[in-house]
């Protein structure tokens, strides 16, 4: 394989834009390559005129840790066997910077395919936005509310922390024992974090909600959600925790899991990160282990094993992670986060691989997707138009 071809594939792999054939081609080259020095030279030669700042080098080293893991999966080789990437991290960070994975103090020229596409309209990424609806109907816009005590509901005090998180404390406030129900709702283009009265932590994705009591005084703890929520449930064996979403009930004791219940996704997807959960619906019940996912929809329950957890929780960690996603799945995420509409016509029958920060402008993410050569986009006002 020529150095030019290697350089092209490395660029596309780091951007997450490789097609299936290109990923296999790169994996085969990695397996067959016997010279660490030659591999390093490809990267260093390509970016020999660029001198990264110290901060860029540190960012590159962190980014390369993720690249090691991904390459290990592609080649079925241990991280030790692909350690030749480590000496090239300083050069490789330039690839990452140039392709929008990491930003440095200056960037090398954009790839031609990226530079030629001009999106005259654009959309900025979402942020920390949510509305809290109290039991009396009063609404508090959390992104504009001052830090500190916001309200008191029954025996619970509601506080907004300096990091934007909302925390309920059902300690020794007057009126303890009186239970009221509150709802936190995030708009399209918003996300937020919440600590429930029992210490359970919840992360809400865009266009999501969670309804909960201001104190868990019964023998069970129960909340209702819409959209997508990641939960770290505080363990209390005497009070099982239950999540209800679109006719699906998830029973847990103490665990970490993600629930995707957007109606447009066609199924409620419960993915377990840690612990054990039981998912029930009219179609039956399934208990899953970490790394497994239950899909509840169309009158049935299906269990998927060996789920890519980085992809499922990417939104919570501030990233778009697509590992073989359809263009429809990609558009669902982008439209919610950037508060955009799509034209509904997705004429692209292909799978997409991408890992970029959600802090990027919409045009940057679309340009990265266009590097696949499989799709083009046009932004018209508040609409994303998908084209072959």
Whether residue 293 contacts residue 312, with contact meaning beta carbons closer than 8 Å, is answered with yes
Q: Any idea what the Cα angle at residue 187 is, between residues 348 and 249, rounded to 5°?
A: 85
Residue 61's pLDDT is 46
Half-sphere exposure at residue 124, Cβ-oriented, CA atoms within 13 angstroms: 3
Q: Categorize the per-residue pLDDT at 22 as very low, low, confident or very high, splitting at 50, 70 and 90.
A: confident
Give the strand order in the sheet containing 383-387. Answer: 341-342, 383-387, 376-380
Q: Categorize the per-residue pLDDT at 103 as very low, low, confident or very high, splitting at 50, 70 and 90.
A: very low
Bridge-based pairing state of the strands 156-160 and 166-169: antiparallel
Q: Positive or negative, the Cα torsion across 340, 346, 347, 351?
A: positive
Indicate the SS3 state at residue 283.
Answer: coil
Query: For residue range 47-63, what is the model confidence (pLDDT) as tens digits?
Result: 443 334 444 444 444 44
Whether residue 37 contacts residue 89, with contact meaning beta carbons closer than 8 Å, is answered with no
Residue 227's pLDDT is 97
Q: Any idea what the Cα angle at residue 85 is, between residues 82 and 88, rounded to 5°?
A: 160
Per-residue pLDDT averaged across 261-274, rounded?
Answer: 95
Q: Categorize the per-residue pLDDT at 32 as very low, low, confident or very high, splitting at 50, 70 and 90.
A: low
- DSSP structure class, residue 63: H
Whether residue 26 contacts residue 13, with contact meaning beta carbons closer than 8 Å, is answered with yes
- DSSP structure class, residue 56: H
- DSSP structure class, residue 271: E
Per-residue pLDDT averaged across 191-215, rounded?
Answer: 95
Domain spans of the chain, in order of start: 3-109, 127-267, 311-387
Residue 67's pLDDT is 45
Q: Is the pLDDT of residue 82 over 80?
A: no
Q: Which fold has domain 311-387?
A: Phage tail protein beta-alpha-beta fold (3.55.50)
Residue 69: left if φ>0, alpha if ψ -120 to 50, beta else—which one?
alpha
Residue 131's pLDDT is 96
Q: Taking all residues of the chain, what is their mean pLDDT, rounded to a whole number? A: 77
Residue 237's pLDDT is 87
Residue 17's pLDDT is 66
Number of H helices, E strands in the chain: 9, 24
Residues 100 and 114: their CA atoms lie apart, in Å, by: 11
Q: What percent of the chain has pLDDT over 70?
A: 68
Q: Residues with Cβ < 8 Å from 107, sequence gap 6 or more?
A: 97, 98
Global pTM reads: 0.70
Per-residue pLDDT averaged across 249-277, rounded?
Answer: 94
B/e letters for 99-122, b = 16+ CB within 10 Å, e = fewer, are bbbbebeeeeeebeebeebebeee
Whether residue 150 contacts residue 160, with contact meaning beta carbons closer than 8 Å, is answered with yes
Q: Among 29-43, 80-94, 111-125, 163-177, whose mean pLDDT is lowest?
A: 80-94
Q: Any idea what the Cα angle at residue 184 is, between residues 179 and 186, rounded to 5°?
A: 175
Residue 27's pLDDT is 62
Phi, psi of 152, deg, nearest 5: -125, 130
Task: Name the residue with tokens 């201001």.
Answer: 214
Residues 272 and 239: their CA atoms lie apart, in Å, by: 20
CATH 3.90.1150.10 fits 127-267, yes or no: no
Bridge-based pairing state of the strands 383-387 and 341-342: parallel
């Amino acid at each position: 394989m020529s150095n030019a071809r290697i350089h092209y594939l490395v660029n596309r792999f780091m951007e997450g834009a490789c097609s299936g054939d290109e990923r296999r081609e790169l994996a085969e080259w990695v397996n067959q390559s016997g010279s660490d020095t030659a591999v390093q030279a490809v990267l260093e030669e390509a970016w020999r005129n660029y001198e990264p700042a110290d901060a860029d080098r540190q960012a590159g080293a962190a980014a390369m840790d993720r690249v090691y893991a991904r390459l290990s999966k592609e080649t079925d080789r241990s991280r030790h066997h692909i350690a030749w990437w480590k000496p090239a991290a300083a050069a490789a960070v330039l690839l990452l910077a140039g392709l929008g994975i990491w930003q440095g103090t200056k960037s090398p020229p954009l790839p031609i395919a990226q530079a030629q596409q001009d999106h005259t309209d654009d959309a900025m990424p979402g942020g920390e936005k949510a509305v809290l609806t109290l039991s009396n109907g009063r609404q508090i816009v959390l992104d504009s509310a001052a830090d500190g005590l916001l309200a008191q509901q029954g025996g619970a005090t509601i506080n907004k922390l300096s990091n934007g998180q909302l925390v309920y404390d059902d300690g020794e406030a007057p009126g303890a024992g009186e239970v009221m129900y509150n709802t936190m709702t995030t708009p399209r283009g918003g996300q937020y974090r919440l600590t429930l009265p029992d210490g359970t932590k919840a992360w809400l994705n865009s266009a999501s909600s969670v309804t909960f009591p201001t104190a868990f005084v019964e023998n069970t703890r129960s909340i209702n959600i819409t959209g997508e929520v990641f939960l770290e449930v505080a363990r209390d064996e005497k009070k099982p925790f239950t999540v209800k979403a679109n006719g699906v009930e998830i029973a847990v004791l103490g665990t970490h899991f993600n629930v995707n219940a957007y109606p447009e996704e066609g199924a409620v997807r419960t993915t377990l990160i840690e612990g054990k959960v039981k998912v029930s619906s009219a179609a039956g019940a399934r208990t899953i282990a970490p790394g497994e996912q239950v899909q509840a929809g169309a009158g049935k329950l299906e269990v998927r094993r060996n789920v890519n957890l980085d992809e499922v929780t990417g939104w919570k960690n501030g990233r778009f992670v697509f590992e073989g996603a359809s263009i429809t799945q990609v558009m669902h995420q982008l439209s919610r986060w950037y508060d955009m509409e799509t034209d509904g016509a997705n004429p692209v029958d292909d799978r997409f691989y991408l890992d970029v920060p959600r802090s990027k402008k919409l045009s940057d993410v679309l340009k990265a997707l266009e590097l696949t050569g499989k799709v083009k986009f046009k932004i018209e006002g508040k609409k994303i138009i998908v084209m072959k």
